[in-house]
Each structure stands twice: as structure tokens, then as C-alpha cells.
Structure 1
Amino acid sequence: MISNSQTLIARLYGSGYTQGINSQPGLMDQYFNLGSKILYDTRVIIDGSNLYHFLYYHYKVAVQYGGDYDHYARKCKRFFNTLTACNVRPYVVFDGGYDPDDRKLPTVLERMENRRTRAANICIKGRGCILPLLAYETFHLVLKELGIPHVSCVYEADREIAVLANKWKCPVMSNDSDFFVFGMDGGFVPLDYMNLTLCVFNQETEVASVLEPGQKLGKNEYCYIPVKYYNYEMFTKHFKKSDTSFILPLFATLTGNDYINASVLANFYASIHVPKNPSKKGFKFNTQTHMLAVLYWLDSVESWEYAIQHVVGHIKSDEKELVRGMVLTSFHSYMNIDDFSDVEIDIILEAQNVKTGNEIENKDVPKLTDFFKQEIPSWFVKKLRNCEITGFFLQNVVVNHRVIFNCQIEILRELSTYACSRDFRSVIYGVTMNSKRKENEAFKDSRKNSIEEYDRDIKNTKKYYVRPQTSVINDAIVQSLPSISQVPDLDQSERKNILFGALGFNMSTIDVENDSSLTLLGILSYWIGHAQPQVTESHLWSVILSVFVLHIRALQWLEDKRGFGLQPVVPEMLSDVVKAIESASDKEIDNFMKHMEKNRSKPDHSSKNPQEMRVIHGFSQFQACLVDVIYLNQVLLSPVVIPSPGVILNCTFVYNLCRDLETRPKPDFYSEEILTKESPLHRLFLLWKDSVINLCQSASPDSFDYSNRGTSVRTKKKSKSGKAKKGKRDRVVEDAGSNSDSTDKDAETRDELTVNCDVNNRFAMLGLDE
């Protein structure tokens, strides 16, 4: 440890910086005795399922309108670029699907209800944060763009991460409190306790300083970031016994977790107590006395075998063996971290290393069985582990025949936004259930012949059984759906036709040759045709113009980076849009972006200018359609390229623009003004808009809601009919969201972490003094 660097760390963290997971100052320092450390020149294992949540909250990306994915993508890149500057080599590990034993189902459903409550809070008060629907896909594509190795475990990743960290002798980054329990030699860095300020250490002068903008490193200098660091030995050294390895695993088990409910151990808790005059004054608890009692009791036992025998002795006779099994399973899951249990994730991560150029082979992929206990094709499992197929949705579909949907920002008295694409998902289910579909047609709706969807029904949770489709129609041709074992045998055009057929439109009628653009237009058409309540043409215009704006900004960002002599990674974009932008004059681009600038700011809401949930609900339905098309594309081995949500959707922008367009009696004139009539962008806009409208009207002449055209929100508020007041429940008077664009520059210079991450810190009550 470097003394000068320690001084700088203390200054950077300062009083009040380390807020702790439960917003109590210095919580982790108090309870787990965190030490200061500098992070540089090392591998690091990152809990990916935790990180992509954390980054959205940490950077305060706006969520009140559904998610600003361009801003989120930039911040994810900034985070990893900061690590790279310190020669910290990240390896990201994700959770997989839910375990088929349903052990976590009650917990997941409880979280679903909690999220729905938080979503309602945002809708009513404008305060709070929930992770937007497309955040994972955005984050995953950032990892691909930057070439960062990443892998998905079969089920929960915590234990596999601990095994890998011990194997590589490197630290783990996460906010999951379970990592305080695992005996990891490389230690644990809580994400809440990273300061992302780049610092410089001079090895000759031994002086540490903050890296200034534009500063170049000298010959004997290196970059680092200050962090708070924990190693289990920091805790166990307070116990006066030779073998302390079992204390934390037993403590975590006996205070309740997913394996065993604390209520089962009520009689055991009654048999132990906290000493009146405890000698171990390092332990401090304000609540949860039984946890403190367990801690003192563990300091008195000599072995884990005796401890478990004592616990089981206080269980009812008919439950003894069941409880013993649960306690042992939990205990060993924390203790035994020498070998991977499901898949050698180090092999997959090393194979992704661009320097080696290796590819994971099927022999390295573990076997996985579906709901009917039949082996899933190795290509599918391989892509699950490589994160080329989204495991928390598609693995749950194949293995559990169950998916659980988290509420978006939406109108809670309307149908769930996921209902918009339920028919489309039945095509996904048709492919994934194909091999057993016919045998189970006789069953009434159940997981034997349907996928069980847990979704919102007004303000309650409801189970829906969705039957799989057997075929799709494309260009008047009926095409039977393949099983997942048959998908690799289809050529790209056949797989693409299934995707377009699932969208329900004859895509050959559209004068667009690029498959990615065709897919986007198909998604827009499907969304408009299935939205309930209906969306407006202003919704359509806003998404198209959002694509244009985000592509322009992405190209400008690339140009700026190249201007500094850098070689930035080019994100996947729609070639039609890129071509139109490059063909337009600088004056036309400047004119367009100048008109769009006002829509990038956070809306100024008040009682006279309330937030319109109707507008947001429509865009949330679009997100549901987009993510389901992404899933089907993955199942079909990606016959089309779907760009990142970061170059498609900024929900603050589309919300502002949609409301603006709805006040204009002649929006066509406005489009000519902002895009410059007959410019390349204007021609592309008309082509896309007219194509989508024609597709929608061919399916239904009443696809759009025209009731709001040319009517301002304020005018509706004053109308005598009272209709505007009727929707008061769905409007937000106050708004606590942050503007993703206007705060960019501030965030660039102010990268200290604030504690906003929703983490389940079960061991926060445990206190130690030096």
C-alpha cells in the first residue's frame, strides 16, 4: 500500500462520500471493516447482473419516460474505459436462468411486486428508479463493441464468480452482500465504494494526484482508481479460534437465505442469546438481535459439524432431515468454492479473448435439459453461455416454461405493455417448444403445453398461459416453425422469413432493401397494429426522428474521437440512416439538430403542464415489441442485425417530441422545415413513415389514435368536458428525473459514486470495530 496514495484516497472519499448500501454513512466500514486500496494492473471479475443495474442508477440516467439508452451506453463505455486506463482487465459474469426447483420463485415474485410499486411511485410522484426494459441488451452490446470477455452461468453466478476469483487470485466487483461471506483470497470491492476518479502515482517521487484533463503519463507513472476493499480475513481475525473458515458460511446460512427461511429456525434462536457483558465489543447491532446472538454463539462452537447438529436438535422430529439437508446445501454452497459446479467459465472467457482468437468448442459446453428433461441442442446452450442468447428470458422459456415480466413505466389501469407483443412471443414459444408441442395438445392450459407468463393485471400479478404457434404466414406462404434443433439447418433467408412472418406483414411490399431497416419498420408496424390503447402518428414520427438524431450523435462522437487521434469502436448502425446522414449537407444536419435540441432537455412539469402517461405508455409498448423481436432473432441465429437501443431510442427525447408534434395542426409542414424538404434525411423519413402507415392501414384502417392531433395539453386541461381531468391519475405533477443529455458534461467531471443501487445487503447488521 502506498502512503501518499492513501492520503489522496482519504481526500477523494471525504466525509459523507461512503454512504453505504442502506444510505447510512460508513455502513460497510463499520460492519465489515473495509480497507482502502488502489486498483490497477490486475484482472477483475465483475458480477455483470449487478453491474448493469448499478451503472444505470449511479450515473442517474433518466428513467421517468422509459429509459435513455444512448446516454446509458456512453456511460457504460466510460466505466470500462476508466478500468482500461488503469490496466484493469475486466471479465464479466452474468446470472443464467432460474433454477427449475422453483426455490427462488417466491423471492422473484416479491421483487416483481416491489418493482410494480416503485413504478407506480414514479408514475404518480415522478420520483424513484427502476431499470428500463432494454438496459441489459444495451449493456451487452457495449461489452461486444469493446471486446470485453463475458459469460452467462447456468443459474446463479455468485458461487461461480467466487471460484473463478480464487482460481485467478483477483478481486470481485459487485454489490451483492454474499461476497462478504465467500472466502476469496483476492478480496471483494463493493461497487458503491469505487471512486471512478482517475488518479496518477509517480513511482520516483511517490506522489499521488488526480489525473487532469489532457494530462499524459510520465515514464514512471501509472493510473489507478481508489476503492474500498474487503477480505474475509478482515472479519474472521476477530474470532479467537484456529479454524474460522466455517463461521461466515454458517452465519449466512443460519440467518436465512434462499435455501432456508429464518422462521424455520425460531426454536434454535430461542436457545441462544447475546451475553449481558460481552467480551467481544467489536460486534455492534442496532436491530436483528437473533443475528447478533448467532454470531456470538458461533464464536463458542468448535466445528461446523457440531454447530449443525446443535441447530437440527431444535427442529421438530418430522422436519429434522429436511432442515439438515437445507442447512448443509446452503453451508456447502458458501464453503466449497474450489471447483465450478456447472460450467468451466474460465475456458469460455479465455476463448473470447481477442488476442488468442480461440472459439469455445461444443465439448466445453455443459449439458442442459428442457422442461421435459430432454437434452437441449449444444448450439443453443453454447450461445446461452456466450450471452448471444439472453438467458434470463430464453433459458427460462426452454427449461422452465415460465417467464416473469417486470412492470415498465406505464398506465397501471390499462393492459400491461407486454400484452402488446404477446402474440409475437407465441412464435418464440413455437420454436422453443416445437419438439413436444403435438404430444401435449390434449392438456388444458399448463406448463406442459404453454408458457406460463407472470404479468401485471391492473395492480395485481396474474398468470397467463400462452400457447405456441405452429406456423407463420409470409407473403401468403404458410411456413411451419422449426424446432431449435432444426434452426441451424435453415439458410439465412428462411430464418429471416420466419422473423418477418412473425411480424405479420408482407415486407416485400416495402421499398427498402436493408434487412435491419426492414426489421425496424416491421417492429414499428407491429407495435402500432397491436397497441392498446392505440398510439398516435406522433409516436411513430418520434421514434423515426429519434433514430436519426441518435445516429447523427453517434457519428459525431466517432468523428470527435478520431480528431483526438483515437480509434473508437464503431457501434452497429442502420446503413440506410448513415448513408442519408453522410449524403446530407452540413447545413441540413445543423438545421435538423438545432430544431431537435429543445427536445433533449428534461420536461418542465407543473400542475398546468402535467406529465402525460398516455404518451409514455405507448413508447413502453414499443420497447416490449422491440425486445421480443431481439429474442426471436437470437433464437433464429440472428438472420438480421438489430442495432443497440443506444442508437434507436431516447425516451426523454421521444416523449418531448411526441407532445410537441401533437400540438401541431400540420406536422407535415414541420417535417419539411426541420429535415429540409427533399433532403436525403427528409426522403428517408417519408419513405419510412409512409411504409409503416401503409402496412398498418392494410391490416386495419383504424390503426392510429387521431384524437390528440393539433390539440395542446393545456387546452385539454381547460376543456369543459372534463376529459382531461379524468386522466389525472395517469399524470405526474412532479418529476425527479435527470436529463441524460444536459447532465452529460457535469457527469464527465463529477464521477464520484452515489448510493442508488437496489441491493439486498442481508449482512448489513454485522458490525466490527478495530
Structure 2
Amino acid sequence: MGIQGLTSFIENVLQNYNFTTSKLIIDGSNLFHFLYFNSSVDQQHGGDYDDFEDQVCKFFKALRDCGIDPFVIIDGGSDHTDNKFKTLRERAQSKINNLSIGLQGDRIIPTLAKQVFKQVLSCLEVPFAQCIFEADQEIASLAEKWNCPVLSNDSDFYIFDIQAGYLPFSHFQWQNVSVQHGSSQNYIPCKLYTTTSFCTHFKIDRQLLPVFAAIAGNDYVNLYNMGFPIKWPRVLDLGADTRVVFFNRLLDWLARFQEQQEALDSVPSLIGHGENGVNTDVALEALSLGIEEYKLPLGCLERFFEEYSAPDPGSLPDHLRVLPDWTLLPLMKGTLPSCIIYILQLRPVIQGVQVEDHSFPSGNNTSRPIRQVLYGLLLGERREVEEYDREGTNLTSSMVKAILPRAAQQLQLNKLHIQHAHLQPDHPLLQALLLGLVYGELCRQRKSQRGFIEEGPVLEKLRRLIQRGASNLDLAVAHAYSQWQCCMRDCLDLNQLLCFPLSEPQIACPASRLYRGTLVHQLVGQLRGGVTPDSLLIEDPSSGQLYRAMLEAILNSQETEATGQPDGPSADSGSQCPATRGRKYSSKLC
């Protein structure tokens, strides 16, 4: 998010900085994307969550080795005007387009990465909050109150007037912790930005920075798209980036003003009469709203971190009054899904994009019945939620009905059926998934106090499969596991909304046990080639016992669902495939 091209333009204003012994406000949504995309964690196979967890743990260890106290703010709410919605929709379509031409896993965040991230933060006892309001403003407000910098990758933080400054992720060398000369104190080499250095460099008043951002175009206003392209006088500027030229000329123009209103009054002379008959007043109103986004609110994060309390319901803006009082604290604690803010406001919800076979329906369709129950609990029956999701290679919208089936009314989650997978998973997919869970449990059991995994014969065998790496990606396998992860995600959300009638699965910390994509994809190939679970687990009887117990529980639950009667013991090792009875395994894996 932010102002396109500003990050590269501003490089010369950054100052080298040795960061140590301070509070630090971290843009959490930026952080988990940054760590996933910049650490060579696999993106094609639906998530290597243990590698991701390892990166998160190393990051916060580096901070604490340098005496840095982190406070993580995760984006939850959004601006109620939906000014960012068009940008979010365009980015989702861009991801679909990239995947459709063969760029599998091109900067695709896995379905459960956010849930893993929050669980790791809790395990590490890192203070974090999930925002109810627009996160950028809340982050900047807290940083100003505590006089500490912000760590993010969002160029909007070049505009907020934060006295302690802004540290861009791209220059934050957390993997290169150093020791200060003549001291035993560790520090992280980085670069620091302050509005003072920017305004001194370009000779403009700091209160004009929001005007600069609004005219340049951010997520809230874009004059060019509104029909007001700024046409500077032609000058010979060979080889210069057009965006750099634009920024320089805009800053030269702003340097003549002292106050925001003075600059806004002169905007008509800059933009002319516009195109397509659009009134100039519309542009001025949009600019004023864009400028407002950079004002620092009173904020509620300081109270949350110091008193562990939610904001006073009476202090909420009108668009958030739809939130029941009891939801405010769980939302901020991250124990309620942030999507309920959008749902209760009857705003569109964009479903996540994953690596899938685009000739089949989106994996999110499989878990739609779960979301319909969640919508019903929030909105009541006969209401609808607009969902944006992939249809083929196009992002389309549809109205999804909220439902309250009898099971939901009685809160009997064990009667919630999920049988809409397409492609439907076969037996090797189930076996591989369970073997992946066994692998995660072995990693957890064998993780020493020093953080190293003590290898055993089964772990060594499974690790060799991971290290072998994947050959050509099997999109059918990726699609099936995407459907399963969508079901898991939406079940987690529903369970949270119902205040945890079921214990939340420990999908992370001390080792992510839920899913390792590169392993389960390799296992599917091995199992389809004739390898049996027994042969993989034979050196460790307890692993075999765990595998069989999970398989039996799933098969027994399917028999109960089909006949209404508990069935006897199932196949003892998984090598006897019950698929001969026509069984499919989509309904109980979540």
C-alpha cells in the first residue's frame, strides 16, 4: 500500500542508523509478508509453515538480542469508505493473472500464514494487537505517543509526522546483528527516515507532506484516474524516471506554500478543468479526504497494551457501532477473525488467492457452507454477503446467503458437513496429509532446548524427501490441499466466533505441525508410486501408532456419518485402502 514509486525516490534522504535499546512499533501485516517473501520459504505448495515459523522466531530473537522491545500491530479493520477496495481488488486480479500464466507461487501468501504468525507471537510472548480501526493511523499514533520508530514497508509512513522516525524493512538488517565499537551492546544496522530530513532536503513545510501524498496518488485518492492528469511543462529530462520527474516538480510547486489550505486553494491552477466533464470540486473534496488520512488520531492501542482493555464502545466512530461490545477486546487480542468487521458492516469480502487448477472452481467454494453459517450467526438469516473470488481466471463477485441451519442454532458443530470439494481428494492425499502431521509432531517432540532438531530414522527419511525438492507441480494435488486449508481456515474462524467450544489446534509453536507443502506433495507422489505409510514409519513404532490412530478416527467418523452407527476398527496401517467403498475424505479433515 502507499504511494507508488515513493520508496525508491526517497533513498537519498535515508540516514544510516544503528538501532538498539528502544521500543519498536511493527507493522505486523507487513512483517509476516516480508518474512515469508524474503526468506526463500516455498510458495508453490500451499505453505511450509515450519520454515516460516523459524524465520519469525529468528527475527524476534535478533530484536531482543539488541534490547529492542517489539509491539506488533496487525491490520484488522479498514477505512469505512472502502477507498482502498479498488486497489485490493486489482491486486487480487493481478495475482490470479500471474498464476494463470504459470508463475506458480509468485508472492502468494499461504492460507494459514496469518494464523501461524499470531500463534508464534503468543508463544514468544511478543505483545501484539489486531486493529479495529485503520492500522496505519493507529501505528503512527502509538509511535508518536511512545516516541519510538515504526518498522514497516508501507510508503505512507514517509508522510506521517513521526518524530522518532520510520525504519523501512528493505534496509533493516536484522540478520546482521552487530556489536557497537567499545561496547558490548548489540545493534541492528538499518536506515532511518524522518520527516525533518525530508522537508529540509526538499525545502518544504512538513504540514504539506499530506498534500504531496494526496496529489501524488495513494490508496485513497488518484487524480489521474479521476480525470485530472497533471501536465507539467515539457522540459528535456533524458533518462529520468517519469515518476521521479513528477515528484520533483510537485515538490518544487509545493515549496512556494506555507499551509495546507493555501496549497489546496491553488490546486485548480495545477489540474485545470479535468477530463470527461468532471467537476473540479470533486477533485478538491477527494484531496481533502486523502489528507485527513494522515492525521494522527487519539488512538486506543496505548490503553490496550498498558491496561489490556478495549476502547470504550461510546468512543467508536459511527461505522464501527455495528460491532457488539463483547467483540471489541477479542478482536484486539486477535482471538476473533478480523473479517467480522467487514461482514457486520455489510461490506465486500475478498477471498484469498492460492496456487490452484484454474479449470476447477476456487478452493474457497469448498468451505463456503462454513462461512454461510458464520454469516448467519453474525447477521441472521435472509441476509447476504458480497464475496469476491476467482472464477476461472477472473475475479468476480457473488452474493452469498447467510444461513442458520438447525445445527448452528443449537451450536452443534459436530453436525456441520463439509462435502463440497472438487476435485475430491483420494486416499494418497489423506495419507500424505496425516504423514505430514506425524512429521510435525516428531519435530516438536525432538526439538531440543537449544532449538535444534534431534534427528531419528523416520525424520531423516522424511527430510530427504523435502530436500529432494519438488519436480513439476501437480496442480490437482495443490488444488485439493488448497480446498482443505480453506476449510481449516474457516473452521478456525467459526470456532473463534463461538468462543472456542473446541480447543484451537496448535498449528504453530514450538514447531508448526499442521502442514508442510513441499513434504506432502512429495509424499503423494511416493504413495501413488507404491510406497506405503508402514514402510516410511517402520523404524519408529510410536509414529506408526499415531498415524493409525488419526486415520482410524477419520474413517470411523465417516462411517458414523454415513450409517448413524459407530463402525469397527478401520485399516490398521493405511495400506488397506477403504477407497474401494467409494469413500472420499473431504468432510472430516478439518
Q: Which TM-score band applies after superposition, normalised by the shorter structure?
A: 0.7 to 0.9
TM-aligned CA deviation for residue 451 of structure 1: 1.4
TM-aligned CA deviation for residue 62 of structure 1: 0.4
Distance 1:562 1:102 in 2: 46
TM-aligned CA deviation for residue 120 of structure 1: 2.8
Equivalence for 1:235: 198
TM-aligned CA deviation for residue 399 of structure 1: 1.9
Aligned residues: 555
Q: Which amino acid aligns with 2:46?
A: G
Equivalence for 1:356: none
Match among 432, 435, 456 for residue 390 of structure 2: 456
Is 1:287 equivalent to 2:242 in the alignment?
yes
Equivalence for 1:500: 414
Is 1:603 equivalent to 2:469 in the alignment?
yes
Structure 1 555/686 Cα, relative in aligned 2: closer, same or farther at 3 Å?
closer
1:18-37 superposed Cα distances (whole Å, 9 cap, x missing partner): xxx99x9x974864421111
Distance 1:225 1:260 in 2: 36
TM-aligned CA deviation for residue 536 of structure 1: 1.1
Distance 2:217 2:534 in 1: 63
Larger deviation: 449-458 or 461-470? 461-470
Is 1:303 equivalent to 2:281 in the alignment?
no
3-state secondary structure, aligned to 1:625 = helix
Contact 2:211 2:291 in 1 (8 A): yes
Distance 1:228 1:467 in 2: 49
Structure 1 686/677 Cα, relative in aligned 2: closer, same or farther at 3 Å?
farther
TM-aligned CA deviation for residue 107 of structure 1: 1.2
Is 1:550 equivalent to 2:440 in the alignment?
yes
3-state secondary structure, aligned to 1:237 = helix
Q: Which amino acid aligns with 2:141?
A: V
Distance 2:546 2:92 in 1: 41
TM-aligned CA deviation for residue 285 of structure 1: 4.8
Q: Which amino acid aligns with 2:188?
A: I
Structure of greater relative contact order (alpha carbons < 8 Å, 6+ residues apart)? 1
Is 1:345 equivalent to 2:305 in the alignment?
no
Distance 1:32 1:247 in 2: 20
Coordinate RMSD, CA, aligned: 3.2
Match among 355, 373, 394 for residue 427 of structure 1: 373
Distance 1:29 1:254 in 2: 16
3-state secondary structure, aligned to 1:408 = coil
Q: Which amino acid aligns with 1:305?
A: Q
Distance 1:546 1:240 in 2: 59
Match among 130, 136, 139 for residue 158 of structure 1: 136
TM-aligned CA deviation for residue 693 of structure 1: 2.6
Distance 2:446 2:479 in 1: 31
3-state secondary structure, aligned to 1:324 = helix
TM-aligned CA deviation for residue 615 of structure 1: 1.1
Equivalence for 1:323: 283
Is 1:382 equivalent to 2:323 in the alignment?
no
Match among 393, 397, 400 for residue 466 of structure 1: 400
Distance 2:526 2:355 in 1: 20
Equivalence for 2:73: 93
Distance 2:478 2:347 in 1: 30
| Aligned positions of 1:45-84 closer than 5 A | 45-84=25-64
Is 1:643 equivalent to 2:506 in the alignment?
yes
Equivalence for 1:360: 309
Is 1:259 equivalent to 2:220 in the alignment?
yes
| Aligned positions of 1:108-257 closer than 5 A | 108-121=88-101, 124-126=102-104, 128-201=106-179, 206-207=181-182, 220-240=183-203, 244-257=205-218
Contact 2:310 2:332 in 1 (8 A): no
Structure 2 residue ranges without an equivalent (≥5):
564-574, 577-590
3-state secondary structure, aligned to 2:242 = coil
Structure 1 320/84 Cα, relative in aligned 2: closer, same or farther at 3 Å?
same
Contact 2:387 2:400 in 1 (8 A): yes
Equivalence for 2:493: 631
TM-aligned CA deviation for residue 366 of structure 1: 4.8
1:428-474 superposed Cα distances (whole Å, 9 cap, x missing partner): 1111112xx3xxx4xxxxxxx1111111111112222222221344x
Q: Which amino acid aligns with 2:220?
A: Y
Structure 1 375/224 Cα, relative in aligned 2: closer, same or farther at 3 Å?
same
Greater CA radius of gyration, 1 or 2? 1
Distance 2:404 2:506 in 1: 28
Q: TM-score, normalised by structure 2?
A: 0.86
Structure 1 residue ranges without an equivalent (≥5):
1-20, 208-219, 278-283, 352-358, 442-448, 474-478, 482-496, 505-525, 564-585, 702-708, 711-770
| Aligned positions of 1:404-443 closer than 5 A | 404-434=350-380, 437=381, 441=382
Distance 1:259 1:693 in 2: 51
Match among 594, 597, 607 for residue 460 of structure 2: 594
Equivalence for 2:572: none
Q: Which amino acid aligns with 1:255?
A: A
Q: Which amino acid aligns with 2:143?
A: A
Contact 1:198 1:223 in 2 (8 A): no
1:189-230 superposed Cα distances (whole Å, 9 cap, x missing partner): 10010112444435xxx34xxxxxxxxxxxx51111100111
Q: Which amino acid aligns with 1:689?
A: L
Distance 1:238 1:412 in 2: 50
Identity of aligned residues (%): 25
1:391-444 superposed Cα distances (whole Å, 9 cap, x missing partner): 1x222222235311122010011110111111121111111112xx3xxx4xxx
Q: Which amino acid aligns with 1:287?
A: T
TM-aligned CA deviation for residue 235 of structure 1: 1.5
